[in-house]
Amino acid sequence: MRGLIRLLDIGSAFISRYLTLAGGIYCGLLMLAIVADVTGRYVFDRPLQVVATVIAVTAPLLFSMGLGYAQVTRSHIRLTIFTRRLKPRPQKTLEIGVLVISTLAIGLLTWLTADYAMESWHIREYEVGFVRIPIYPTKVMLSVSISLLWLRYLVDLLRHFNSKSTELRNNGSHAT
């Protein structure tokens, strides 16, 4: 079990890291496109018609591509105003409960986004406008990003349960 958890941990951390890097590069490219659009609009009186549509279609990627890596580095926002007053055992129990709920909720979201992404891919969905921009790659990347977040929650949950079973086994062997 430890080998599987380690494999999932290393693999998902690796993919999440590079997906976050790709998201940062994409964000930089979008900023350059916005600068070009604004420059074209105010200097040459010719804005880039496609920039607003591209941003509208791909905006979900800006926040979703780094979700898995944020879980790897534990940099999601944590509200500890109440939990820091708890003793270690209730804190751990609460953390496991939150991980279970998060894993189930993100798992459902993963399933739904994957379903929408496959449907969009199948019909080759496009944004209707001045320029036809494909929507299905964005939906697929959104699904992949959320899947990585789910995988990270699952790894954290398995790690908690695995450490708990190891503790029980070690405590049981010392008692005999």
pTM over 0.85: no
What separation in angstroms does the CA of 96 have from each of 9, 101, 118, 126, 156?
17, 9, 32, 41, 9
Q: What tokens appear for 48 in the block?
A: 């880039």
Scan for tokens 């969905």, then name that residue.
125
- Tally of CB atoms within 10 A around 165: 11
Domains of the chain, residue spans: 2-175
| pLDDT tens sequence for the chain (176 residues) | 778 888 888 888 888 888 889 888 989 999 998 999 999 989 888 888 788 888 888 888 888 888 887 888 777 777 777 778 888 888 888 888 988 999 999 999 999 999 999 999 999 988 877 778 888 998 999 999 999 999 999 998 988 887 765 554 555 544 43
Kindly report the backbone phi and psi dihedral angles of residue 133, in degrees, each rounded to the nearest multiple of 5, phi listed first. -110, 130
- CA atoms in the 13 A half-sphere facing the CB of 1: 11
